[in-house]
Amino acid sequence: QVQLQQSGPGLVKPSHTLSLTCAISGVSVSSHGAAWNWIRQSPSRGLEWLGRTYYMSKWYSDYAVSVRSRITINPDTSRNQFSLHLNSVTPEDTAVYYCTRAGSRNYDFDYWGQGTLVTVSS
């Protein structure tokens, strides 16, 4: 059974970097056909896909245009987890952040982390 467990701070100061980690159990982060995503949800923006990383003989990443200049999603194969780093945050980045898995079946998000409310405030 795949499980995703998120960790990271719930409060980040403006202009600082938001960092979250998603620990994976039940499957390898390097599994072919799976992609590891970060999604956020806020009242103003709804559900917003931020980006993904996946392994297909080598590692790839894709990011949403809205955050492309500020985001990095990295796999950590030694710990079987992946991380989100979003720099230069503003209050508009306040949201619940989710890590998810998308399988090769239809790129549906079949497993989700528990969610982390991140507030950007001084």
Partner 1 sequence: DIQMTQSPSSLSASVGDRVTITCRTTQSINSFLNWYQQKPGKAPKLLIYSASSLQGGVPSRFSASGSGTDFTLTVSSLQPEDFATYYCQQSYSIPLTFGPGTKVDV
Residue 113, interface with partner 1 (CB under 8 A)? yes
- Work out the burial of residue 64: count CB atoms within 10 Å of its CB; fewer than 13 is exposed, 13-18 middle, 19 or more buried: middle
**Binding segment (CB under 8 A) for partner 1, from list 24-32, 61-69, 73-81, 86-94:** 61-69
Q: What CA–CA distance (Å, rounded) separates 112 from 12?
A: 23
Among 57, 78, 106, 122, binds partner 1 (CB under 8 A): 106
**Binding segment (CB under 8 A) for partner 1, from list 8-16, 21-29, 75-83, 104-112:** 104-112
Residue 70, interface with partner 1 (CB under 8 A)? no
Residues 21-60 within binding reach of partner 1 (CB under 8 A): 37, 46-49
> Beta strand 81-86 with 18-25: parallel, antiparallel or unpaired?
antiparallel
Among 17, 28, 77, 114, binds partner 1 (CB under 8 A): 114
The token duo for 50 is 């931020």
What are the residues facing 36 on neighbouring strands?
53, 101
User: Is residue 65 helix, strand or coil?
Assistant: helix
Can you say whether the dihedral through the CA atoms of 84, 95, 87, 18 is positive or negative? negative
State in angstroms the smallest separation of the CB of 114 from partner 1.
Answer: 6
List contacts with partner 1 (CB under 8 A): 37, 46-49, 62, 64-65, 98, 102, 105-110, 112-115
